Amino acid sequence: MKVARLHGLGDVRLSEEADPVPGPGESLVRVTAVGLCGSDLHWFSEGGIGDAQLADPLVLGHEGAGVVVGGSLDGTLVAIDPADPCGRCELCLAGHRNLCPRVRFAGHGRNDGLLRELIAWPTHLLHPIPDTLSPADAAMLEPLGVALHAHDLAHTRLGQSVLVAGCGPIGLAVVQLARLGGARTVIAVEPLAHRRAAAARLGADLVLDPADGDVVARVLEATGLGVDVAFEAAGNDDAVGLCVEATAPGATVILAGIPGEDSTTFPAGAARRKGLTLKLSRRMKEMYPRTIDLATRGAVDVRSLVTDTFALDDAARAFAVAERREGLKVVVDPSRRG
Measured between alpha carbons, how far is 61 from 95 in angstroms, rounded to an integer? 25
**DSSP, res 20:** P
Which pLDDT belongs to residue 53?
A: 86
- b/e sequence 267-299, b meaning 16+ C-beta within 10 Å: beeebeebebbbeebebbbebbebbbebbeeee
Q: What 3-state DSSP class applies to 211?
A: coil
The residues with which 315 forms a beta bridge, in sequence order, are none
The model's pLDDT over 54-102, given as tens digits with 9 standing for 90+, comes to 888 999 999 999 999 999 999 999 999 999 999 999 999 999 999 999 9
* % of the chain with per-residue pLDDT over 70: 100
- Domain 146-280 of CATH type 3.40.50.720: yes
Q: Give the highest mean pLDDT range of 133-142, 252-261, 263-272.
A: 133-142
What's the full length of the chain, in residues? 338
Domain ranges of the chain: 2-140+302-333, 146-280
Backbone angles phi, psi at 287, to 5 degrees: -100, -15
Query: What class has domain 2-140+302-333?
Result: alpha beta
Please provide residue 280's backbone torsions phi and psi, each rounded to the nearest 5 degrees. Answer: -105, 130
When the pLDDT of each residue in the chain is averaged and rounded to a whole number, the result is: 95
Q: Would you call 111 exposed, middle or buried from its count of C-beta atoms within 10 A (0-12, 13-18, 19+)?
A: middle
Which of the four pLDDT bands, split at 50, 70 and 90, describes residue 43?
Answer: confident
Q: Identity (one letter) of the amino acid at 307?
A: T
- pLDDT, one tens digit per residue, over 110-120 is 899 999 999 99
What is the percent of the chain where pLDDT is above 90? 90
Identical fold for domains 2-140+302-333 and 146-280, yes or no, is no
Q: Do β-strands 247-255 and 227-232 pair in parallel, antiparallel, or remain unpaired?
A: parallel
Among 302, 299, 254, 313, which Cα is nearest to 138's?
302
Average pLDDT over residues 230-258: 96
Element (H, E) at 315: helix 315-324
For residue 258, the model assigns a pLDDT of: 86
Mean pLDDT of 121-141: 98
Angle at 317 between CA 314 and CA 321, to 5 degrees: 135
CB count in 10 Å sphere of residue 209 = 13
How confident is the model over 163-192, as pLDDT tens digits? 999 999 999 999 999 999 999 999 999 999
pLDDT score of 338: 64
- Alpha helices by DSSP H, listed for 29-182, are 38-46, 90-93, 135-139, 141-154, 169-180
16 pLDDT higher than 80: yes
More confident residue, 52 or 25: 25
